[in-house]
Structure 1
Amino acid sequence: MPRRRPTNPKVKAHIVLRNGKRAAPRKSGIALAREIGMSEQAGEYLRGRMAAAVLTLKPLEKAYFPDGVGGLREEVLNFKGPLHDAMVKAFEHFSLDPEDPASWRTLVEYFAYIFFWEPPRRRSGKPTEWTEERERELFAAVSTLPGLSDSHAAMKLANDKKSKFYARGQSASDGVSGLRRRIGKVKKKFGAPVGTK
């Protein structure tokens, strides 16, 4: 029988995130305590006991099941959940201690950052980089290239490493096409230099 390829981590993440939206919210220890009429201190105690039982990677040693006569019976087990090894790897990867509740919070913060964090949105609009002074420099540079069209002048300035307008490997708006458009605007603004097309 052919071996199945392991699922891609991105696919796993997508499945977990998709199914996570449908998961029913779990009740906290305090909510459970209120539901059965316990005091708030008892709820806090229950919450602490639940946290101590849940925030560990130690396998369950015992569990309580209904005995059929209205009581509970204790059963000894040595059960590791299906994700136990993966969780151990996650704690080891981030050098965290699974017995420390702060490490659990840190691990959740890492996963929240990986899956849900979005950088703050930048203000709309690109910051102005063509100042009056820079436009005058471009006008002066184009004036030193008599007889060249705007396209040829832009190509010469954008590809010359010694030029202040060298833009090879940058975005198109900063490259030859952007510089050609800027030369046209500068000529209109300051008047076409003598001998240019």
Structure 2
Amino acid sequence: MRTKDRIMEFLEEFIGENGFAPSIREIVGHLGFRSTKAVKVHLDEMADMGLIEKESGIARGIRLKEVGMPIIGRVVAGEPTLQFEGVEGHFSFNRWRGTFLLQINGDSMTGANIEEGDYVVVEKDREPRKGDIVVALVEDETTVKRLDRKNGNWILRPENPDYPTIEKFFQVIGVVVGVIRCYYR
């Protein structure tokens, strides 16, 4: 896990438990740094990236910037019944820290409802398991497929019968943890 991700995870955990930010020294101690300088550099970079806000000159002056979208109600996919009554909460993108997006090119995963033009959210540090949808490097190209086993060997299985199973050597880059679809481009 990258250092900034480790710091962010600690900040979220500490603030969630205590209601206030940790001190620089507490971050140093928790993450095993030798000095406060490295932590300060990372915090400055995280502020520049818009992940946190820092109030200079104030002890424990770190605030997390919530990245998200308002949830304004629920909708039934059957008979119309929706009533919007204001914001119910926020969908936080913070849970997808340490991930990246890849845009889908092709139709080998349509059976898993991953369509051409969709974006897959990929977590590179997640341990892949049988049945996961993964992004893998095959020779010099990347592909997205379902991870499976055949005769004791790992294989990559498409979710479209028009495509063959990949049984040659591959390296998993990350696990797909979400799909984003834009209807208007």
TM-score normalised by structure 1 residue count: 0.19
Q: Say which structure, 1 or 2, has more relative contact order (CA 8 Å, 6+ apart).
A: 2
Is the strand fraction higher in 1 or 2? 2
Is the helix fraction higher in 1 or 2? 1
